[in-house]
Structures are given as structure tokens and as C-alpha cells.
Amino acid sequence: MVTNNAPLLEVKNLRVEFPTRRGTLLAVDDVSFDIAPGEVLGVVGESGAGKSLTGNAIIGLLEPPGRIAGGEVRLEGKRIDNLPYEEMRKIRGARIGAIFQDPLTSLNPLYSVSRQLVETIQTHMPLSASAARARALDLLKEVGIPGAEQRIDHYPHQFSGGMRQRVVIALALCAGPRLIVADEPTTALDVSIQAQIIALLKKLCREHGTSVMLVTHDMGVIAETADRVAVMYAGRIAEIGPVRDVIKNAKHPYTKGLMGSIPSLGHRAERLTQIDGSMPRLTEIPTGCAFNPRCTVRGERCLVERPELMAADASRAACWLHDAGGVGTPVAPVREMANA
């Protein structure tokens, strides 16, 4: 469900830095996007692209020495990136929920599921212990825990991986948040359980009007779940647009490579597309477009000017191909030059 109302979440020119002895590393560089009420925005990219750091910056859980060095994050129009820790902690539970990759790290193994749910509910809602327990039981039923009445007092190790992830989703929903940041919520699960968790997230969006920022490296999960997708590369957004348009008609060379590397059930190909090379380290991001060493259509302009997101049909892509000036004189990619 996507509405035409004002955005629920607005991220503007976000920069995340890591000070080191050798200098400051820029891990998220001038990232901007918004999420509408009830919308699922998928954020996809290779490891190290900055997608998880973007999610952590939004919910105020950056690991030191990481810090927000610029830009702003607004939730329902109110800026939240500059709030004191305790104020942000209240918002993180009540208005923003979080689902992480490994449910075992999200649940305390020493406490029963009921204790963890009830404590979270009472922290953010003025409910008695009995009312909080009743709400916890309702949440476990809603996320599909079979025999919830008997299992509510079990400990995390007594649940399977898929059931633990459902408990984590119930924890994220405790105070009825408007936004859920889900960081690789299906990666540790087998394919059949992945499908169930994806269906559950879609159901929550539909019934609660909850918005979801879904961080993953799996385009299949994005295609099945998201309304829009943002493709990240080297700390920046390379392309953002409606998920169907980005998948079927990608506008950035990197996105085209990602789409071409996914096998299709309906089309038999002798060879999948390959993106040679690897994402640059934070200390070695090239001038101009960060993707230029791996790009097969790069020009001289790509080596010296960094493109911003610009209109490309239904999407927006950070590529000079969509600018009136083009990419300039074609230049062979680094791998071809090396083989010459």
C-alpha cells in the first residue's frame, strides 16, 4: 500500500564517516531518499555498498567510531538524527522497529520470549503486566507462531530459525511502529521459510500501514516484496525507482549487470552477465563515477565528474548516459586496458 501523503521517512544528503588513524573514511556519501506511509523500499547492493550502515544511521545504532557527519533524517516531519541517546531510544522502540539478520543476536538467550516481549511493550506503552502479556500473545499469533499460548514462555533456543525470526518481528511490532528497518531479515533462513517471512512482511504493510526499509543483497526478495528499490554502490545510490521498472529496464550500467547476473526460469542463457572487478575499498574510491573502473560504457567524463541522480524514464540513475552531454569520448574499462 503506497499513499500520496507526505513521506513518512525523509533522508537528505546523509553522510556517514569513520575516523581512523590514516584519515576519515566516507562510508555513506550524500544519500537521499524517502519512504511513503505503507511503502516497502528495498535497498540492495554488494557487501560494503553502505546499505546496512544507512539503516543503522536511521535507527541510531551506528557502531563507534562511525558517526553521521552530514545530512538529516526526518520521521513524520521531525528530525531524529540529532536527538540525545535516550530520546532516540524511545523513538526506536515506539515509532521505528528493527529486524536484524540473525535472530539469535536480537534475542536474549537468558530470558523467555514472554519476558522480552512484555518488557518491550511496557517500556513503550502504559500497560499492566497482564495486559502486556495479552498483547504479546496476540503478536505471536499474528506473526504465525503455532501454539502461541504454550510457546510464549519458551526460550529462544527452543525455537527454530524461522520461528525465532517471527519472534523478532513480533518484538519489532510491540509498540505499533510506523516504520520497520529490516536488515537482511531472510538471509539466515532456508528458501521456504524466506517466502513465509516475506509474505508476513507484506501482510503487515497491508494491514497496519507500516512502512518498511528492506535492506538485502537478494534481488529476488526485493522483486517479491518491495514497491521501489534503491541500488547502492560504494556508499551512494546508483539508481532508484519502481521495482518493476528497475528490474525490467535498468538504467544504470551497474544495475544492468546485477539484473543480468540473475538466472531466469523463462529464458535459457548460455552465459550469465558478469561484472568484472570488485567494489573499491573506502580508501580507494576513484574520482568521477565510482563504478567507472568496471563499466563497459564509460567515457572521459565518467573519469573526472561524479554524476548525481538524474531522471531516466520512471527511475533516477546516477549516470552520465542520461545527461544531455553524455559520457564523452568512450574509454576502455580498466580490465581491457590491462589486457591490451
Over residues 248-256, the mean pLDDT reads: 94
User: Is residue 76 left, alpha or beta, with left meaning phi > 0 and alpha meaning psi from -120 to 50?
Assistant: left
For residues 170-191, average pLDDT: 90
Residue 338 confidence class, pLDDT cut points 50, 70, 90: very low
Angstrom distance (rounded) from CA 166 to CA 118? 16
Please give the average per-residue pLDDT across 223-240, as a whole number.
Answer: 96
Query: For the residues 184-188, what does the mean pLDDT come to?
Result: 84
What was the pLDDT predicted at 200?
A: 86
Where on the phi/psi map is residue 23: left (φ > 0), alpha (ψ -120 to 50), or beta? left
Residue 188 pLDDT level (bands cut at 50, 70, 90) = confident
C-alpha distances in Å from residue 127, one per residue of 130, 268, 278, 333: 8, 57, 51, 62
How, if at all, do strands 78-79 and 310-312 pair? unpaired
Comparing 320 with 48, which gets the higher pLDDT? 320
Kindly tell me the burial class for residue 128, based on how many C-beta atoms sit within 10 Å of its own C-beta (0-12, 13-18, 19 or more): exposed
CA distances (Å), origin 172, targets 49, 178, 204: 25, 11, 11
May I ask the CATH class of domain 9-233? Answer: alpha beta
- Residue 336: is its pLDDT beyond 50? no
Q: What pLDDT, on a 0 to 100 scale, did the predictor assign at position 253?
A: 95
What is the bridge-based pairing of β-strands 236-242 and 228-233? Answer: antiparallel
End-to-end CA distance of the chain: 52
Query: In this model, does residue 167 exceed pLDDT 50?
Result: yes
Cis peptide bond prior to 126, omega within 30° of 0: no
102 vs 18, residue with greater confidence: 18
Residue 220 confidence (pLDDT): 84
User: Rounded mean pLDDT of 169-187?
Assistant: 92
Instruction: State the pairing for strand pair 236-242/310-312.
Output: unpaired
Q: What is the mean pLDDT of residues 183-188?
A: 86
Question: Which pLDDT score, from 0 to 100, does residue 339 have?
Answer: 42
Residue 137 has pLDDT above 70, yes or no: yes
pLDDT for the residue 340:
39
Q: Domain coordinates of the chain in residue numbers?
A: 9-233, 236-264+288-339
Full-model pTM:
0.91
Q: How far apart are CA 289 and CA 276, in angstroms?
A: 16
